[in-house]
Amino acid sequence: MKIKNIALFLGGYSNERNISIKSSFEIFKTLFILGYNVYPIDIKYFSLNFFLKKKIDKVFISLHGRIGEDGCIQGLLEYLNIPYTGSNVFTSSLCINKYNTKIFLSNYNINIIPDFLLNKKNLNIYKNNFYENIFSKIGFPLLLKPNYCGSSIGINIIYNINNFKKNILKYIKKFNNILIEKYIFGTECTVGIVDGKVLCPIKINLSNNYFSYNIKYINKKYFIDKLDKKIEFKIKNISIKIWNILNCKGCIRIDYIIDKNNNIWFLELNTIPGMTKNSLLPIAAKFSGINYINLIEKILYSN
């Protein structure tokens, strides 16, 4: 299919809006350089009438979080019979939910970190023996993270029960759905896949205990390295297995942690990874010999 006119969906309503806009700025420049007609559309101010008046060959989705990454936009575009980049409605709606994704993958012998899901509705289920249930399964330290957010937003490491009590209700109030996860000491790494091709896995060396939003986007106190060849081979096989199980399309990024015994633990999957030039997927592509311009065109034409 010959692509000429592209709608670039960006911005949106989620707390990852700013990252989406930064990614989209780089994507827009690249598509413009490649000679495409590009129409940037912030879905926060989306006009369906304007969109339908344009002869759009494909939508390049550069949205993160709710509405854009959860299957809603994908469903709209399928209803309108307009091709788009990235995964379909089912895969998008599943993968934005960290807890459900882990449950799904646990049926396929993927190492899943012990966790609990808490929200305003199910909090009373654990009321009588709330702490006992959680700590007997998970123990300390543990991680609190929003179940639906990406970009490392809201991740917090908890070392003791007082710290937990102080934060948990505040977290539920702010994010509603909270994933309480056992903290695994080890090395964080990420694997990008573009159109079914696994990119070079990269190790994230941190100046802190976990890859927080501040470290990723503000302080940038981390550096990238390659993995040991044996671990790299193993993690590539796990990643393409997950890609196929979940029927992913376009590009994705899968995050893992490798413990001291070289066990590989699945953390989460991003169906629309950040695409600034400092984002992890473009860095992984560069390690694999794919420059940013080629990466964007590969995503555009992936099925």
Q: Where are the alpha helices (DSSP H) in 107-184?
A: 130-137, 161-175
Q: What element of type H or E holds 280?
A: helix 280-287
Q: What element of type H or E holds 283?
A: helix 280-287
What string of DSSP letters covers 58-126? EEEE---STTTSSSHHHHHHHHTT--BSS--HHHHHHHT-HHHHHHHHHTTT--B--EEEE-TTTGGGG
Q: Angle, nearest 10°, between helix axes 292-301 and 280-287?
A: 110
Q: Which residues contact 243 (CB under 8 A, 6 or more apart)?
A: 193, 196, 198, 252
Question: What is the spatial distance between Cα 11 and Cα 28, in angstroms, rounded to a whole number?
Answer: 13
Question: What is the spatial distance between Cα 260 and Cα 88, in angstroms, rounded to a whole number?
Answer: 36
What is the number of other CB atoms lying within 10 angstroms of the CB of residue 112? Answer: 17
Provide the annotated active-site residues.
16, 151, 279
- For 183-289, where are the E strands, in sequence order? 186-194, 197-198, 202-206, 222-226, 251-259, 264-270
DSSP state of 199: P
Contact 271, 54 (CB under 8 A): no
Question: What is the spatial distance between Cα 135 and Cα 137, in angstroms, rounded to a whole number?
Answer: 5
**Coil, strand or helix: which one is 210?**
coil
Residue type, 50: F
